[in-house]
Structure 1
């Protein structure tokens, strides 16, 4: 193949088309007209000898050849950008969307503070908080370039391809209404188990690892309600005898004044919260700036968000 005959701009358009699987959305992302984007797709099909995008049920879908091209194409474009090494753009002038995949728990913590931090330091960076479909799917999304950053718990990763660091070590607390009978009578494991619990599960599970801990002690609990989001927990606690064990950072900022909050009466292991991105984003200023703001969000009370 004669490399001089290849228009590198065509590869940029192809990258957007493979991400969006939609000509109009790719055109809007690149600020191109739809006819120009369609023409670029036709040229890409000729270049690779493959349809790349085909009509399927519910819209366009990538061919196997297109799926195989996604990661090498992204790596190639990042490599070209590194070779060209354009002058560093001031943060205030960057216009870019950064996509973050995260579960409910970190999402509650980061959305507001991160938006306010970026409004001051890099107002042209827009955020997309993507839905959570599990850790393997999040890491695959980073590899495919469908996400830029992931925040959650990642027990194992491919360190050659992905950067992963610990943002914080999360701990569990027990929360109930201020005048809850279990709080007034002296909180203990048995008093805790006398009342129905709230369990947060995105999959609708009625058990968690904590139930296995209780079973080892010859005890069990009643799960009175299962909800899919930590945002649903505070209203349920305020006017009921329900009790919730939840990660400390999922409590609302005014929780200390609204609820009785205590450590679990038996040791309950916490967990690390990780920040990850694909190494092709190591030199992406927008992604790295968002990562720095995320570190500040989790640095503790009074952290400098800007």
Structure 2
């Protein structure tokens, strides 16, 4: 293959096409017209001797050849960018979208403060907060370039491929309305005498806490399962429901609105991780957003 005949811009378009598996979305991502993107796809097909994208059930899908191209192509483009090494652009002049994959917690903590911080330091950076579908899906999204940053819990991670750091050690508290009948002389039995709120984005009706209780020959009644921590405070205020929640998901005025106590049995907390693919190590917008997230979340521990 004659490298002089290859248009590097074609590879940039191909990278977007492989990420999106959709011509219109790739065109929008690159700010190109759909006909220009379709033409680029045709040229890529000729270059690699493969359809690359083909119709499947529910839409377009990548061919096996296209799947093998994804990671080497991304590495190549990052390497080219490093060689070119353009002059550092002032933060105030960056125009870029940074995509953050996160669960309800810590999304409810960081979204507002992060937006305000960027409006001051880098107003041209736009944010997309993407829904959480579990740690494996988040890491896959980072590897594919569909996400830039992930913020949640990663029990295991390939440190050669991903940067991962702990920003916060979360602990649990039990919350109930201030005049709740369990508030006085709170104990394990009083805790279990009332229905609980379980927060689960997947609709689970059990959590590791239920396994802990079963080991003690105890059980709780889950009165309601909700997908968001934001739904919990109104439920607590109008009922005898009790919730065990990560402390930082509670509203700032929680101590005035609710009766808060530690769980009556030891409940292990969890670390909150900040992660990105190492291809983003020198992406100025991504690193600036990561810096702001670091300030917001480490500030909660102060």
Q: Counterpart of 1:101?
A: 101
> Shift of the alpha carbon at 1:256?
1.8
Contact preservation (8 Å) 2:168, 2:301: no
Q: Counterpart of 1:45?
A: 45
Contact preservation (8 Å) 1:71, 1:145: no
> Shift of the alpha carbon at 1:44?
0.6
Instruction: Count residues in correspondence.
Output: 302
Question: What CA distance in whole angstroms lies between the structure 2 residues aligned with 1:126 and 1:193?
Answer: 45
> Shift of the alpha carbon at 1:46?
0.5
Name the TM-score, length of structure 2 as normaliser. 0.96
> Shift of the alpha carbon at 1:258?
1.3
Contact preservation (8 Å) 1:100, 1:130: yes
RMSD after superposition: 1.4
Counting only pairs closer than 5 Å after superposition, residues 250-269 of structure 1 correspond to structure 2 as 250-269=249-268
> Shift of the alpha carbon at 1:55?
2.2
Question: What CA distance in whole angstroms lies between the structure 2 residues aligned with 1:32 and 1:218?
Answer: 62
Q: Counterpart of 1:66?
A: 66
Counting only pairs closer than 5 Å after superposition, residues 93-242 of structure 1 correspond to structure 2 as 93-183=93-183, 185-242=184-241
Counting only pairs closer than 5 Å after superposition, residues 258-297 of structure 1 correspond to structure 2 as 258-297=257-296
Question: What CA distance in whole angstroms lies between the structure 2 residues aligned with 1:265 and 1:70?
Answer: 50
- The DSSP-based 3-state class of the residue aligned with 2:140 is helix
Question: What CA distance in whole angstroms lies between the structure 1 residues aligned with 2:65 and 2:84?
Answer: 28
Name the TM-score, length of structure 1 as normaliser. 0.95
- The DSSP-based 3-state class of the residue aligned with 1:265 is coil
Residue by residue, what CA displacement relative to the aligned partner does 1:84-125 show, whole Å, maximum 9, x if unpaired? Answer: 100000111111111111112111111111111111111111
Q: Counterpart of 1:10?
A: 10
Segments of 5+ residues of structure 1 without an aligned counterpart are none
Question: What CA distance in whole angstroms lies between the structure 1 residues aligned with 2:253 and 2:7?
Answer: 56
Contact preservation (8 Å) 1:171, 1:269: yes
Relative distance call for 1:301 and 1:151 in structure 2 (3 A) is closer
Question: What CA distance in whole angstroms lies between the structure 1 residues aligned with 2:31 and 2:22?
Answer: 14
> Shift of the alpha carbon at 1:301?
4.3
Q: Which runs of 4+ in 1 moved over 4 A?
A: none
Question: What CA distance in whole angstroms lies between the structure 2 residues aligned with 1:279 and 1:191?
Answer: 49
